[in-house]
Structure 1
């Protein structure tokens, strides 16, 4: 074992030792998945690395380096600064509300001069860290007390309200669902989830008339029957289904997709990139990408199960569930199984903040793997680091 119980008093483990114990197969799988993304962005650019593929490759390279640095950082450092990171991202969300700029009809970004940041993406990881830190400090008896659950509920509700106002229903949904998984992993009783579900159903009509924007309502109605507006709200999903079906078993060939290259397919470099992949490489291509995703998720949950410290286990679960939600929501959306929401396909869709956020999360996951045998006391806040 790389770590043992005595590490708390003798934390002298070299960076080289940690690098040797990095889950390199996981890193290779990440690179293969990102490679599929580079190829599809090259195709989306009409056989050119510009404007999407080259930038995505640079971002992946930078993110990969950052991921390794995060992975070899002592996990107690992330425990210590989990709340600080959460509140920093929360401040950025408030800043978006006040001074964020509008892009593609939504106010989700804040400019830092040379680059733009989408704080709602960062909150996906910040919330995982914050909730893991909070539940790490409580016993199973604490989790059973309703008053103990009020602070973590506020940690979820406050950013969710800020993000749904941008508006970004997809990210809000991901935050809530990932948080539910972490609450469950922390030991919250099932009856409380059932009660929350009943309250949610009761509040659904209120949300329909007071929270959802008109275009969001239209997406839900279109999801139920796309044929009602084939040239309007239903156009995107109809074209996506045509592209998916036309790919057949082996596809039309690399850069030979008609729906995408004749611009029938909307946002082919972001939200609908899986559709372009399926059109060009068929069912085989789609299943290949899904197989890589399944392998990554499997390794991720094995890492969570092998962690001896509660903080690491909760972080790994939170990162994995978030990763799964990216995959499920995007693919279900382009297949017409759920309403269209702006959720990218992880490691494949074009997008800087989403890519770097994912690699940040994977860095934390690998950090949990490296420190899997390290025990951290329930009251340990990481100050001994």
Structure 2
């Protein structure tokens, strides 16, 4: 009886209540927007409700696992994730020109989603295992190898959006572990030069017969469409143009709940998934968009505060990467919907339809709660 009581008490105290309250608000908002966005898409609202309930259970389970438990699981989770990615490479199911799924008989899974958790887990475990004074260049190279293996396998599928999220989550761990910003300065400078070159030579490099070598044709089209959406208004640029029209037509106050014309007249493609922010902005306007960003900001700030209060290096690195992964989700999705980033298929956290992404976010939030409730040794100042 005492064991049952102890388990029930531990289960009820597994939550980080400030984060849970923010997640509940976001879930309510997400279901509200989904109800408006589904239109004639059948049972997606009911499905999304089930996805939220399942994500809550996944989050609860992840929160019940202690940080020490996550540390023990890290190598196993990473090996399983890489093995499944290799399985996709050799036995994957192809759909819409991409080989991203693995048929396991009773269902199809997308192993790249698992890598969003597995990679930061493994890299944090690697740095915690090698914390012997000051870090050496070899330590950073080893962490980079652990990051690049799944990243390159996902890029090859191809799934650039998921690959970027996996890379961002792993890179945040490397940066938080002590990577000097001076080493990043040349990379930032090179990126600025590349962006400047793209803008200057846009007319030449976006010609149909120009080969970019390092990118596939559809990726090249996404970049060129970003530079000039009107170059293909009924093709590659249609998504960006229509989403920007919807956001602009919402104005300051919005058109009102379920009163968005662009979304309900089917002008916004993928309005329940990648472009759900356009539906939200059209109906709730600038004020609604700002409040949504504030809500996301509070969630990220809570995650970072958990990071700062963590007791061990492993906990700090893991919680920091989970918080920054949420930031990258939001930044990339809203960036592509508003036309400042190419369309890469990244969902908007807790608003976009889909169970897989919600499961990943549930695990990430559960890990944050696990770190928040950890009773580790006192931090050394």
Whether TM-score is above 0.5 comes out as yes
Q: Secondary structure at the match of 1:209?
A: coil
How far apart, in 1, do the equivalents of 2:109 and 2:125 lie?
A: 25
How far apart, in 2, do the equivalents of 1:210 and 1:156 lie? 23
Q: What RMSD over aligned residues (CA atoms) do the two structures have, in Å?
A: 2.4
Corresponding residue of 1:28: 21
Question: Cα distance, 1:139 vs. partner?
Answer: 2.6
- Structure 1 runs of 4+ aligned residues shifted over 6 Å read 198-205
CA distance in 1: counterparts of 2:19 and 2:46, whole angstroms: 23
Q: List runs of 5+ in structure 2 lacking aligned partners.
A: 1-5, 198-210
The answer on 1:174 being equivalent to 2:165 is yes
Cα displacement string for residues 250-295 of structure 1 (whole angstroms, at most 9, x for unaligned residues) = 2222222111111111100100000011111111222222221111
- Is 1:165 aligned with 2:156? yes
Alignment correspondent of 1:80: 72
Q: State the partner residue of 1:10.
A: none
Match of 1:153 in 2: 144
TM-score, length of structure 2 as denominator length: 0.88
Q: Name the counterpart of 1:3.
A: none
3-state secondary structure, aligned to 1:222: helix
Task: Tell me if the contact between 1:100 and 1:107 (Cα under 8 Å) persists in the aligned partners.
Answer: yes
Alignment counterpart, residue 59 of structure 2, candidates 64, 67, 72 = 67
Alignment partner, residue 297 of structure 2: 294
For 2:289 and 2:175, locate their aligned partners in 1 and report how far apart those are by CA, in whole Å: 31
Alpha-carbon distance change, 376 to 15 in structure 1, aligned in 2, over 3 angstroms: farther
Match of 1:329 among 329, 332, 338: 332
Query: Separation in 1 of the partners of 2:132 and 2:297?
Result: 31
Give the alignment's TM-score, normalised by structure 1: 0.87
Structure 2 CA distance for partners of 1:136 and 1:367, relative to 1, 3 Å? same
Contact 1:39 1:53 in 2 (8 A): no
d(CA) in 2 for partners of 1:199, 1:288: 35
Match in the other structure for 2:204: none
Taking a change above 3 Å as real, the CA distance of residues 37 and 114 of structure 1, as seen in their structure-2 partners, is: farther
Rate the CA distance shift 1:343–1:97 in 2: closer, same or farther, 3 A.
same
Partner of 2:43: 51
User: SS state of the match for residue 116, structure 2?
Assistant: helix
Matched with 1:260 is: 263
1:138 positional shift: 2.2
> 1:274/1:372 Cα in 2 relative to 1: closer, same or farther (>3 Å)?
farther
Going from structure 1 to structure 2, the CA distance change for 1:281 and 1:198 (only over 3 Å counts) comes to: closer
Gaps of 5+ in 1: 1-12, 378-385
The CA deviation at 1:201 is 8.4
Once residues 320 and 231 of structure 2 are traced to their aligned partners in structure 1, the CA distance between those partners, rounded to angstroms, is 40
Hey, what's the Cα distance between the residues in 1 that align with 2:375 and 2:176? Answer: 17
Residues 330 and 285 (structure 1 numbering): CA distance in 2 closer, same or farther, change over 3 Å? same
Match of 1:304 among 307, 312, 316: 307
- Could you tell me which residue of structure 2 aligns to residue 269 of structure 1? 272
Task: Specify whether residues 294 and 201 from structure 1 end up closer, same or farther in structure 2 by C-alpha distance, changes over 3 A only.
Answer: closer
Shift of 1:137: 1.6
Instruction: Tell whether the 8 Å contact from 1:252 to 1:282 is kept in structure 2 after alignment.
Output: yes
